[in-house]
Chain A
Amino acid sequence: EVQLVESGGGLVQPGGSLRLSCAASRFTFSSYWMHWVRQAPGKGLVWVARINSDGTRTNYADSVKGRFTISRDNAKNTVYLQMSSLRAEDTAVYYCTRGGAPRDFDIWGQGTMVNVSS
């Protein structure tokens, strides 16, 4: 079964940093764009960032630009989200999801919770 498994979430103080990981299995990871999408408690889905298949191109939502960095290691079938200068409004469940037109976001992980609080 095609699978994405996130890890790395937790409680962090405002201004702190955290690195999320997303391990892929049972598909050719190096052929796909990968994305991070977040969802604050009780709120809707918000796209965060994406990276192309070989890691040379990235895009970010304005709300995280300059603070978050998406990267990938195709040898380890893993995509990362390095988050710094965290704010209370970054509190959310973070999902990684597989991209690539036309069926963007066709596979999702279970999500990992990030709580930014003092």
Chain B
Amino acid sequence: QSVLTQPPSASGTPGQRVSISCSGSSSNIGSNTVKWYQQFPGTAPKLLIYLNDQRPSEVPDRFSGSKSGTSASLAISGLQSEDEAGYYCATWDDSLNGFVFGTGTKVTVL
């Protein structure tokens, strides 16, 4: 149902780099900035990335974001066990006149 598509899962071993994609369209990612959120089970989401690639000061620099055309990506470098969580992209959609979230990606640290 979501207009932003993410892979349902991603995984890596400690220290590896993991990348999560977020695919949209010209009415959302193509014309607005992207944010990323991290969510642990049973807790509220936390802002990780805003303005496509900006990190709040409290977010470790191993998290990075990028955007190209109608897609965006979140990369986690130097994967750690505490990074095992759900990750969601989000942006404004000009056609829907509302915010949209991605389908979510569960990251597992092997």
Query: Which residues in A have some Cβ–Cβ distance to B below 8 Å?
Result: 35, 37, 44-47, 50, 59-62, 95, 101-106, 108-111
Contacts and interface: CB of A to CB of B under 8 A. Distances in A.
B103 interface: yes
- Interface of chain B, helix or strand or loop or mixed? strand
B14 interface: no
B2 interface: yes
A106 B101 CA distance: 15
A50 B45 contact: no
Interface size, B (range) = 20 to 34
A105 B45 contact: yes
A111 B44 contact: yes
B45 to A, nearest CB: 6
A37 B90 CA distance: 12
In this complex, the member of A59, A61, A105, A109 whose beta carbon has the largest number of chain B beta carbons within 10 angstroms is A105
Q: Which 4 residue pairs across A and B have the least CB separation, nearest first?
A: A108-B44, A47-B99, A44-B104, A45-B101
15 contacts: A35-B99, A45-B37, A47-B98, A47-B99, A47-B100, A61-B96, A62-B96, A101-B33, A102-B54, A103-B35, A104-B35, A104-B50, A104-B99, A105-B35, A105-B37
Contacts of A60: 98
B88 interface: yes
Interface string B1-21: 010000000000000000000
A72 to B, nearest CB: 18
Nearest to A105: B47
Nearest to A102: B51
Contacts of A50: 98-99
Contact of B90 (A61, A102, A105): A105
A60 B98 CA distance: 7
